Homo-oligomer: A and B are copies of this chain.
Amino acid sequence: MKENIAIGIDIGGTNTSFGFVNKKGEVYFQKSISTQSYINFNDFINKLNTEIENGQKIISETKNIKLIGIGIGAPNSNYYTGNIENAPNLPWKGKIELVNIIKKYYKVPTFLTNDANAAAMGEMVFGGAKNMKNFVVVTLGTGLGCGIVANGSLVNGHRGAAGEMGHLIVKENGRACNCGNNGCLETYVSATGIVRTVRKLLGKQHNTSKLEQIPANGIDAKKISELANNGDNIAIEAFEQTGEKLGKALAKVVTITDPEAVFLFGGLAKAGNLIFEPTRLYFNKNVMNVFKNNIPILPSELNQNAAILGAAAMVF
């Protein structure tokens, strides 16, 4: 008997990864290609198709598979239209009718959603939210994304723009955001946000931080995390401030959506207790009684291949 397989594709600003995934979340073949090398979208699609066909051949040597669908996660994607629209971090400008184009090649059901929604689907199908009908996934990358599941379904909203938690204004006249507003959550809580926090803290002239010895443009979230784990005071303070903002914002999202649990996903979430402890502390301080100490804030259980699994999960 043939085994049902979905292709999960994760289109990022730097690289695009894809993989062949079965119902259990096992990845049979995966590969990455450069996104940014293909300024012309047709060239990108041709390269992607060639690699997918190559993958299919390799798998077919040992397994009997049937492609039942394709799921794609990409920034600035609209689930309803199947289009990528004006993505500032992708090389192709304007509107890309991605689902229509992919369907022409493969003639299987094809789904497109943004990265955070794909992460939420992945968590539900393959990760820690397997038995949950109401939960929230927050993705902490260059920006901050949020996928919300209610009544067992993804909340897409009217125009496919639900879950824009990264653009909750958490400080009036705060940091400038790419969206045009000021004080958006993601300017504080993201891999880039914590770097801005460190730069600001360095302005306060602590004399004991190793971060003073690195040029500002050499500081990244990973470095801050390493130094915090070694007891660096500014690095620790930066994580505390980040967790405070995240915990207070989660209190708002939980008050609106009443999830069973919240999952944190992505680079910053890998900093473990550095981020989880202040987040939980300020969440519980700022949420109403019915939710206090009642909402597990957990690391995502999707680690390797998470983006591919999340995209493929839309098919299953």
Chain A interface (Cβ < 8 Å from any Cβ of B): 132-135, 146, 148, 150-151, 153, 155-165, 167-169, 179-181, 184, 248, 251-253, 255-260, 286, 288-291
Contacts and interface: CB of A to CB of B under 8 A. Distances in A.
Chain A binding surface, main DSSP class: loop
B258 A161 contact: yes
24 contacts: A133-B158, A134-B157, A134-B158, A134-B162, A148-B256, A150-B150, A150-B157, A151-B153, A151-B156, A155-B257, A157-B257, A157-B258, A158-B260, A159-B258, A161-B291, A164-B255, A164-B258, A167-B255, A167-B288, A168-B255, A168-B256, A169-B251, A169-B286, A180-B289
Contacts of A169: 248, 251-252, 286
Contact of A155 (B151, B156, B180): B151
A48 to B, nearest CB: 28
Contacts of A259: 157-158
A95 to B, nearest CB: 15
A251 B165 CA distance: 11
Q: How many copies does the complex hold?
A: 2
Contacts of A148: 256
Given A151-B155, A164-B288, A252-B252, 18 more contacts: A133-B158, A134-B162, A135-B158, A146-B256, A150-B150, A150-B153, A157-B257, A159-B258, A159-B290, A161-B258, A163-B256, A164-B256, A164-B258, A167-B255, A168-B252, A169-B286, A180-B288, A252-B256
A143 B158 CA distance: 27
A90 to B, nearest CB: 17
Interface centre among A157, A167, A179, A184, by most chain B C-beta atoms within 10 angstroms, is A157
A252 B166 CA distance: 11
